[in-house]
Amino acid sequence: MDYEKHAMSGAETIFALRERVKELTCLYKITDLANRNDLSFDEFMNMVLEVIPRSMQYPSSVTTRITFDDKVFASESLEVSDVFIATDILSNYQNRGRIEIFYREADGVEFLPEEEQLLKAIAQQLSLVLERKSIEENNARLQEQLRHADRLATIGQLSAGIAHEINEPLSAILGFGELIKNDYPLPEKAQQDLQKIIASALHAREVVRKLMLFSRQVPPKMMSVNLNKLIEEGFYFLENRCAKQNVKITRILDPGVPEIVADASQMHQVLVNLTVNAMQAMPQGGEITIRTLVIDDMINIIVSDTGVGMDPELLQKIFIPFFTTKDVDQGTGLGLPVVHGIISSHGGTIDVESTPGQGTTFTIQLKMTNER
């Protein structure tokens, strides 16, 4: 009898050791997956789904579901039953999701207490991994923002230098062109050609002016500005053009928005540029919505459209001078860079969100006191 007890105890020990090895192997594999830089978040989670069942008593009968934020990852043949164990995934003291493990064959099958403890350990490990990945993603995003800001600053310096160099010969072309036009009788064909020269020079000077605005070489003329009034008056002149393109303008203006110190003409140009950009994104018509509101002591101007939208790759380039998706004769690629330059010169920020096929939203934030 003592021999039988000893044999049974030995079998139980071997079983317990085998289960512990499976559990440790599970945790090790999750750690190993977490250290792989070649895996996306979704790939990592789907691989974790494959690892977890192997640590259970009856792996072939286990199905798993992991919910994290708004995403759900589940076994291919998920079967929800009354026999299950579950635990929450906590990150920074917040409930971010849940792990659930089910047995398909419910009759006579129970989870071991050790398996419940293992599930909690897995949840803690996932929490650490997800926090680390979140930090890495934030760092990567910040680095990209810094690179983008540095690139814009470099382009701004280059643009300012080019603008100053081009201004002098342009002034000479325009000056001598006007002298010839007024002081020398020319044949009609020559007069037409001269007018084209003057018009081209004026266009080039406008491009230079926009470059200087982008590079913040033109100081704003600051005065007290009522943004709501500026929007009402500014869009009054744009509504006819919008109506011809079957574009509706909706204004939602917060009457509590205070006046700010700004350059009225430059802020008007911001609105015009954003509106024209939105119209060009809606060739078949649509709706432009402009809102003003105060959030956390910041004045927000939000311009949304229902146009074609932009993908993430395009979003990275929209504030770079001369970048454009339009035909050569339809734009210089300076509209949005000028907007960026003007808002920066006013001590504000501009952000953009866009989804292909669903439209684009530009959000401008300006300090209420406009201190710079």
What domains are defined for the chain?
A: 2-140 (3.30.450.40), 221-367 (3.30.565.10)
Distance separating alpha carbons of residues 302 and 288, to the nearest angstrom: 10
Query: So what's the pLDDT on residue 364?
Result: 94
Distance separating alpha carbons of residues 297 and 305, to the nearest angstrom: 26
pLDDT tens-digit readout, 43-69: 888 888 888 888 888 888 888 998 888
Q: Count other Cβ atoms within 10 Å, centred on residue 266.
A: 21
Query: So what's the pLDDT on residue 107?
Result: 61
Share of the chain above pLDDT 90, in %: 10
**Within the chain, where are the H helices?**
2-34, 41-51, 113-183, 188-214, 227-236, 239-244, 264-280, 312-315, 335-345
- What single letter denotes the amino acid at residue 317? K
Residue 334 near residue 347 (C-beta atoms within 8 A): no
Please, what is the average pLDDT of the chain? 79
Bridge partner residues of 94 (DSSP): 91
Distance separating alpha carbons of residues 18 and 22, to the nearest angstrom: 6
Q: What is the 3-state secondary structure (H, E, C) of 118-176?
A: HHHHHHHHHHHHHHHHHHHHHHHHHHHHHHHHHHHHHHHHHHHHHHHHHHHHHHHHHHH
CA distances from 195 to 6, 175, 178, 201, 336 (A): 109, 13, 9, 10, 30
Residue 107 or residue 232, greater confidence:
232
Distance separating alpha carbons of residues 298 and 114, to the nearest angstrom: 53
User: If you average pLDDT over each of 134-143, 263-272, 320-329, which comes out highest?
Assistant: 263-272
pLDDT tens-digit readout, 82-130: 888 898 988 777 888 889 988 876 666 788 888 888 888 888 888 887 7
The first and second tokens of residue 48, run together, are: 């974790």
Residue 261 near residue 346 (C-beta atoms within 8 A): no
Q: Angle at Cα 215 formed by Cα 149 and Cα 352, nearest 5°?
A: 50
pLDDT band at 328 (very low <50, low <70, confident <90, very high): very low
Query: So what's the pLDDT on residue 5?
Result: 47
The first and second tokens of residue 359, run together, are: 């439209």
Distance separating alpha carbons of residues 238 and 250, to the nearest angstrom: 12
Query: So what's the pLDDT on residue 344?
Result: 85
Distance separating alpha carbons of residues 226 and 259, to the nearest angstrom: 5
Residue 286 near residue 242 (C-beta atoms within 8 A): no
Return the biggest CA–CA distance within the chain: 129
Residue 340 near residue 156 (C-beta atoms within 8 A): no
| Residue in 136, 72, 68, 59 with CA at minimum distance from that of residue 103 | 59
The first and second tokens of residue 179, run together, are: 């002298």
By CB atoms closer than 10 A (0-12, 13-18, 19+), residue 313 is exposed
The first and second tokens of residue 344, run together, are: 């920066």
